[in-house]
Amino acid sequence: MFDSKEFYYDLWNNYLPEDAHVRCSGRLYISVTKLFPYPHNQIVSHYQTRNDLIETILASMCLPLIFLRSIVRTRGGWAVDGGFTNDLPCCDSYTVTISSMNTNADIFPKDCAFGLLDVIQVPKLERVWQVARMAERDAAACVDLKLEHWMNIKKPGTINQNVPAPSD
């Protein structure tokens, strides 16, 4: 059986620069659902290593038995897609939300046939790049971005009270 977890690990590993974890720390907030001792949301925003960043990304896209067929072990515990416990976390007014399915996100596939088939089977590499190009285009077109604020590293205490603080 094809190992989609290995496929996506290799994809991120080949795509991300060596210092991606440094560049993303304090800027990229990823929602995951930790499974033990009970299912609960965790917002991750600091990454110790590049591998830590990749594992967190994989956990955030893990729909057990459907997409990434096995649960991902990250940060000393088992985790799956953050959508199970917090579908679209928003940290502050400058947060840019991204989702493959939630149409309330700032960036989501607006004009493509992105559906259940893309989730339940491992897509061909051409499809992965097609979706990536659409996401890049949609991100560039997101006119509500206030880049001068968004690009600054978030300071402690700027997290909205409606969202749990990052528990790195």
Q: What is the mean pLDDT of the chain?
A: 77
List beta partners, residue 122: none
Contact in structure between 138 and 99 (CB atoms under 8 Å) = no
Q: pLDDT band for position 146 (50/70/90)?
A: low
Q: Over 50: is that where the pLDDT of 76 sits? A: yes
In a domain, residue 56? The reply is yes
Residue 43 Cα to chain centre, angstroms:
10
The residue among 83, 24, 76 whose CA lies nearest residue 49 is: 24
CA 161 vs CA 23, 52, 134, 166: distances in Å: 25, 26, 32, 12
Phi, psi of 84 (to 5 degrees): -70, -30
- Can you give the pLDDT at residue 154? 43
Q: Assess if residue 25 is contained within a domain.
A: yes
Residue 76 lies inside a defined structural domain of this protein: yes
Question: Is residue 167 included in any domain, yes or no?
Answer: no
Q: What is the pLDDT of residue 56?
A: 95
pLDDT number for residue 33 = 94
Displacement of CA 55 from its chain's centroid (Å): 10
Lowest-confidence region among 29-33, 63-67, 83-87, 116-120? 116-120
36 is a domain residue = yes
* 71 is a domain residue: yes
Which has the closest alpha carbon to 52: 68, 32, 67? 32
- Domain membership flag for residue 90: yes
> How many other C-beta atoms can be found within 10 angstroms of the C-beta atom of residue 130?
15
Q: Is the dihedral of CA 14, 16, 19, 25 positive or negative?
A: negative
Residue 5, pLDDT score: 80
Domain-embedded: residue 134: yes
Q: Domain range for residue 119? A: 4-150
pLDDT in tens, 81-134: 888 899 888 777 777 788 777 778 877 777 665 666 666 666 777 877 887 788
Contact 21, 47 (CB under 8 A): yes
Q: What HEC string does 84-103 produce?
A: HCCCCCCCCCCCCCECCCCC
Considering its fold, how many domains does the chain have in total? 1
